[in-house]
Amino acid sequence: MRALPAVKALLATLVVCLATLVWADVAVPQLTGRVVDQTGTLSSSDIASLTQKLRDLETRKGSQVAVLIVPTTQPETIEQFSIRVAEAWKIGRRKIDDGALLVIAKGDRKLRIEVGYGLEGSLTDVTARRIIDEVITPKFRTGDFAGGIDAGVDRIISVINGEPLPVPQPQASHGDDLDFDSITSFAPVALFGALVIGGILRTLLGRLLGSFATGGAMSVIAWLMVGSVGLAALSGIAGFIIAFIADSFASMSGPGRGRRGGWSSGPSSSGWSSGSSSSSDSGSFSGGGGSFGGGGASGSW
């Protein structure tokens, strides 16, 4: 009988722990792209189409818009959850705060447009509510989630197009952004190419001229594969340096070790071959540091 109070205390503790787990806040999803769908509602082509529209908007206006679909925000309201996501993702440019976030909680049948400080003058609470009520939810009620999101995004973009925002800063590359993912994914190819092509061209043209030719060849290869002027320039410089000093490394290996002990061992020993994971935006999208203050509107269907 003495054990009965201890058993009751243990059961009470378990109940409290389970309740805490059940009512814990939904974790903020990782920002893997301009469109994050945790419900499988959108097809890959839907995501690709939306992503391209939002990428074009950022290129043209500088403003960032993201879409998030989650099963539920419970136990939080969609307003509480959306502002947590907005604060974590920081969509929009820093100090301009021209970001907007469309959040759909599919299982709750609720949605919200969260608006950054810099867009509150044009994408007002009233305008956001009209987009939800007149454009998005009518399609949601018929089960056309892709159509509703697409139409809503189009309307948000049209509103932002009319906002006089600071001109986006020119990028340092042409085509895809020169980012860490592009560099790490191309590094093994650049290293292998510089060693192989450099060895051939040095034999044919001599050390100095062959190294210059290797740098030029690596620039062309980088441009064709990645489409980035910045990465092409870096590849050319790296190709020249690697080709020029490759003989020095080979000679440092000594006769006892042979060529296998020098630089010519190939990219498998470079430690760069792991690459990086891809996302719906090829790993190139991140928030720009924008701030949110709770502006926007919510709705349901």
Q: How many CA atoms lie within 13 A of 86 on its CB side?
A: 30
Cα 107 to Cα 28: distance, rounded to the nearest angstrom: 17
Beta-carbon contacts of residue 133 (< 8 Å; ≥ 6 apart): 299
- Looking at residue 254, its pLDDT comes to 46
pLDDT attached to residue 263: 36
Residue numbers in the chain where pLDDT is lower than 50: 6-23, 172-179, 251-279
The strand order across the sheet containing 64-70 reads 35-37, 64-70, 99-105, 110-116, 292-300
Residue 35, pLDDT score: 96
**What pLDDT score does 2 carry?**
53
Q: What is the pTM of this model?
A: 0.58
pLDDT at 257: 43
- The pLDDT value recorded for residue 183 is 58
pLDDT score, position 237 = 83
- Distance of CA 29 to CAs 42, 77, 85, 88, 94, Å? 17, 16, 8, 9, 21
Residue ranges of domains in the chain: 26-169, 180-269
pLDDT at residue number 170: 62
Task: Count the neighbouring beta carbons within 10 Å of the beta carbon of residue 77.
Answer: 15
Domain 26-169 bears CATH identifier 3.10.310.50: yes
